[in-house]
Amino acid sequence: MTEEVNAAAEEAAPQLTLGDIATVVQIIDLVSRRGGFEGQELETVGALRSRVVKFLEANKPEDGETPEGQVPVAEEVEAEAEAEA
């Protein structure tokens, strides 16, 4: 019975990938460009971004490529919107 509970807990545990973490960096950059942070917040947000980037670089796969996030680039989104119009 205990093994079943432990197995269920392991299956339900949330997982983060390096790609998810790279997406966080992209979101920070996007919100910063759009003026979503106030001046006094920028130092804290910038420090967090730097730590996340260092983590990604330290944990990148052996093939040497740093994972990329899933947030589409603004130009891609605009091009798709124009194509649909």
* β strands within the chain, DSSP E: none
How many other C-beta atoms are found inside a 10 Å radius of the C-beta of residue 23? 17
**Per-residue confidence (pLDDT) for residue 63, from 0 to 100:** 81
pLDDT digits over 27-53, tens only? 999 999 999 999 999 999 999 999 999
Whether 9 is covered by a domain: the verdict is no
- Between CA 16 and CA 84 the distance in angstroms is 33
Whether 3 is covered by a domain: the verdict is no
Task: Find the domain containing 57 and state its range.
Answer: 16-84
- Between CA 75 and CA 85 the distance in angstroms is 15
Q: How many separate domains does the chain show?
A: 1
**Per-residue confidence (pLDDT) for residue 8, from 0 to 100:** 65
How does residue 6 score in pLDDT terms, banded at 50, 70 and 90?
low
Whether 62 is covered by a domain: the verdict is yes
